């Protein structure tokens, strides 16, 4: 338990002791770090305890705050002050700051991890694009949200399996195969027309050229399933290669087709039937999804015996829980908003806790260049792909830009800004801050009196307090991300951390050979900062350049 956690525990124990409250009555009380550069005069931590208790106890919040102030005493607390209508601001002692810095310096990643909490086994499913074409512009957003969330979970020492669900069963694969066959026949000079609902993309023309070179005229005799299987496999390879370029590696590629082949879907439907959650109407089998707040019942099996994607979803959810996951996270586009109620209803019908399923919905992405929203790729004359974006701006910029906005807000990806090598570009800004810390530390190694910086140099923290608290605040950010799934908070935090550093650096000389003691303290802080920036970059999946 670090210094901040000890103070929080002290505050809560005193509240319970003074006011004789149950644990449930404390749930809305917050004890938080003050990290905003403009609010440092208000102390190092603050609590809304008196404000919350005033509603519970029907008493004056300022009076309650005064009672709390009188009862709290600890070597880590210099003083407590009443603020506003009843907030209590907490000022840390010099001993607390030194101990906090020491804990961070020695524990490194472990400082941010809570060992006492029970571990959760997450399944994080994201992207899961149909293997019928290249990943498009929007997939980049769902990809980075899921990938970074998985990284956060793993960093906090919980388990996270990153999973891609391959929709490789049903009519869309048949349609892909037919469209591909037409392109192959056209390449051979045959008269063949794509159906209106076929896949029109240039990528099938290019794939057909490759296939014809390998097989020639004999492909005219191939059955349709050969074309469907080949096109699907090639599209999956394309998707996997794009994701690798984007820095995303999946632990599991799960085939929907396997659920059909091994009878999992039929078994799941039988289970729902036994629970009286299905019925037959007009020759089709329906799921009673309106019993679980859905707007209408859903078809599971059509009149012709064809199973629907809802039927596959049921078997897939059952499969995930059977694999031992106790938290399922799915990242879907906003156009899948109706899935939330439906999938939670399926969980409930199967006998699982619907709260163990969380769906992150993300809004649309538009690409802007020279002030104009782009509709088509100028290079290839087709819809803009994720690979186009990565090739244009690079992996680091693509990942950071895609994440640097709340998931439920529309994202405008500005190509001009992404290509700038100035502080206007947030990726350049944060990576430059990291390079600056490395430069300072490397310069210090050339001075004998400033070599071998270690934890014992964290003795005289004064002007470094704001920077230290900002570094420590990463622990809160990561815990909030795990609880709320708001991965964009990490990019926001990283930018704010760099702003705090640049402000500190503008005001304080880190290396001063006339004041070795202060210089060594500040260099130890630079080590903490540099490590923390690299920590953030690793979780974000962007590089930590040594020079720029």
User: CA-to-CA distance for 141 and 335, rounded, in angstroms?
Assistant: 14
pLDDT at 286: 97
Decide if pLDDT at 150 tops 60.
yes
How, if at all, do strands 357-362 and 327-333 pair? parallel
Decide if pLDDT at 384 tops 70.
yes
pLDDT-derived band at 378, boundaries 50, 70, 90: very low
Q: Which residue has the higher pLDDT, 436 or 381?
A: 436
Residue 232 near residue 131 (C-beta atoms within 8 A) = yes
Phi and psi at residue 125, to the nearest 5°: -105, 130
Average pLDDT score over residue span 165-172:
91
- C-alpha dihedral over 313, 314, 320, 325, to 10 degrees? 110
How many H-runs (helices) and E-runs (strands) does the chain carry? Answer: 20, 15
pLDDT at 382: 58
pLDDT-derived band at 142, boundaries 50, 70, 90: very high
Q: Is 330 helix (H, G, I), strand (E, B) or coil?
A: strand
User: CA-to-CA distance for 366 and 525, rounded, in angstroms?
Assistant: 40
User: CA-to-CA distance for 265 and 270, rounded, in angstroms?
Assistant: 9
Phi and psi at residue 90, to the nearest 5°: -115, 125
Decide if pLDDT at 199 tops 60.
yes
Average pLDDT score over residue span 239-257:
98
In tens, the pLDDT along 260-275 reads: 999 999 999 999 999 9
pLDDT-derived band at 379, boundaries 50, 70, 90: very low
pLDDT at 427: 98
Decide if pLDDT at 377 tops 70.
no
How, if at all, do strands 278-281 and 252-255 pair? unpaired
pLDDT, mean over the chain: 94
CATH code for the domain defined by 3-92: 3.30.1360.70
How, if at all, do strands 121-125 and 252-255 pair? unpaired
Average pLDDT score over residue span 475-490:
97
Helix (H) / strand (E) element for 372: namely strand 372-373
Question: H-type helices in 86-201, by residue range?
Answer: 94-107, 139-155, 171-187
Domain 426-540 CATH (choose: 1.10.286.10, 3.90.1170.50, 1.10.760.10, 1.10.730.10): 1.10.730.10
Adjacency order of strands within the sheet including 159-166: 252-255, 159-166, 121-125, 327-333, 357-362
Question: H-type helices in 188-221, by residue range?
Answer: 202-215
Other Cβ atoms within 10 Å of 419 Cβ, number: 14
Average pLDDT score over residue span 165-173:
92
pLDDT at 381: 37
User: CA-to-CA distance for 158 and 153, rounded, in angstroms?
Assistant: 5
Decide if pLDDT at 423 tops 70.
yes
Give the number of C-alpha atoms closer than 13 A to the C-alpha of residue 320, restricted to the C-beta side.
34
pLDDT at 65: 95
Average pLDDT score over residue span 226-245:
97
Domain spans in the chain, listed from the N-terminal domain onward? 3-92, 171-234, 426-540
pLDDT-derived band at 527, boundaries 50, 70, 90: very high
Report the range of poorest mean pLDDT among 160-174, 302-316, 372-386, 493-507. 372-386
Average pLDDT score over residue span 160-178:
94
Helix (H) / strand (E) element for 369: namely strand 365-369
User: CA-to-CA distance for 181 and 230, rounded, in angstroms?
Assistant: 10
Residue 486 near residue 547 (C-beta atoms within 8 A) = no
Give the number of C-alpha atoms closer than 13 A to the C-alpha of residue 502, restricted to the C-beta side.
14
Phi and psi at residue 290, to the nearest 5°: -65, -20
Residue 92 near residue 11 (C-beta atoms within 8 A) = no
Question: H-type helices in 20-138, by residue range?
Answer: 49-57, 61-71, 94-107
Decide if pLDDT at 518 tops 80.
yes
Tokens standing for residue 505 = 């650096």
- Which residues lie across from 488 on neighbouring strands? none
pLDDT-derived band at 372, boundaries 50, 70, 90: confident
DSSP 240-258: HHHHHHTT---SEEEEHHH
In tens, the pLDDT along 202-233 reads: 899 999 999 999 999 999 999 999 999 999 99
Decide if pLDDT at 380 tops 70.
no
Decide if pLDDT at 25 tops 80.
no
The residue among 123, 44, 120 whose CA lies nearest residue 89 is 44
Decide if pLDDT at 400 tops 80.
yes
Adjacency order of strands within the sheet including 278-281: 278-281, 284-287, 298-301
Give the number of C-alpha atoms closer than 13 A to the C-alpha of residue 312, restricted to the C-beta side.
18
In tens, the pLDDT along 278-321 reads: 999 999 999 999 999 999 999 999 999 999 999 999 999 999 99
């Amino acid at each position: 338990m670090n210094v901040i956690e000890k103070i929080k525990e002290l505050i809560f124990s005193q509240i319970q002791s003074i006011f004789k409250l149950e644990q449930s009555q404390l749930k809305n009380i917050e004890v938080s770090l003050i990290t905003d550069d403009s609010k440092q005069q208000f102390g190092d931590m603050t609590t809304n305890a008196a404000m919350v208790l005033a509603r519970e106890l029907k008493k004056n919040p300022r009076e309650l705050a005064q009672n709390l102030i009188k009862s709290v005493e600890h070597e880590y607390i210099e003083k407590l002050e009443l603020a506003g209508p009843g907030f209590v601001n907490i000022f840390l002692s010099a001993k607390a700051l030194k101990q906090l810095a020491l804990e961070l310096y020695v524990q490194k990643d472990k400082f941010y991890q809570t060992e006492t909490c029970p571990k959760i086994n997450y399944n994080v499913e994201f992207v899961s694009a149909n293997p019928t074409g290249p990943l498009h512009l929007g997939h980049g957003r769902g990809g980075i949200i899921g990938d970074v969330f998985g990284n956060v979970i793993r960093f906090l020492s919980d388990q996270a399996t990153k999973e891609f669900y391959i929709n490789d069963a049903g009519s869309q694969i048949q349609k892909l195969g037919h469209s591909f066959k037409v392109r192959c026949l056209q390449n051979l000079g045959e008269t063949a027309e794509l159906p209106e609902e076929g896949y029109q993309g240039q990528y099938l023309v290019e794939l057909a050229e490759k296939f014809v070179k390998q097989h020639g005229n004999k492909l005219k005799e191939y059955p349709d399933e050969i074309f469907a299987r080949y096109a699907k496999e090639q599209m999956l390879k394309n998707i996997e290669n794009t994701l690798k370029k984007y820095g995303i590696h999946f632990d599991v590629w799960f085939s929907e087709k396997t659920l059909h082949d091994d009878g999992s879907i039929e078994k799941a439907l039988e289970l729902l039937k036994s629970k009286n959650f299905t019925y037959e109407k007009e020759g089709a089998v329906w799921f009673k999804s309106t019993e679980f707040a859905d707007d209408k019942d859903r078809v599971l099996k059509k009149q012709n015996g064809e199973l629907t994607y809802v039927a596959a979803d049921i078997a897939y959810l059952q499969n995930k829980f059977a694999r031992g996951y106790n938290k399922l996270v799915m990242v879907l586009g906003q156009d899948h908003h109706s899935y939330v109620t439906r999938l939670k209803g399926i969980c409930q019908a199967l006998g699982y806790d619907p709260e163990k399923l969380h769906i992150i919905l993300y809004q649309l992405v538009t690409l802007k260049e020279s002030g104009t929203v782009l509709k088509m790729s100028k290079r290839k004359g087709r819809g803009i792909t994720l690979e186009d974006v990565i090739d244009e701006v690079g992996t680091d910029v693509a990942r950071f830009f895609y994440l640097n906005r709340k998931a439920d807000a529309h994202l405008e990806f500005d190509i001009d800004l992404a290509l700038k090598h100035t502080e206007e570009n947030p990726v350049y800004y944060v990576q430059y801050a990291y390079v600056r810390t490395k430069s300072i530390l490397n310069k210090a190694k050339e001075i004998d009196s400033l070599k071998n910086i270690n934890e014992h140099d964290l003795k005289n923290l004064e002007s470094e307090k704001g920077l230290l608290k900002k570094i420590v605040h990463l622990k809160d950010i990561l815990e909030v991300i795990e609880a709320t799934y708001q991965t964009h908070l990490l990019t926001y935090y990283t930018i704010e951390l760099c702003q705090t550093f640049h402000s500190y650096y503008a005001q304080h000389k880190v290396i001063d050979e006339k004041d070795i003691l202060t210089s060594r303290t500040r260099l130890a802080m630079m080590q903490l900062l540099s490590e923390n920036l690299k920590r953030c970059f690793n979780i974000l999946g962007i590089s930590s350049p040594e020079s720029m």
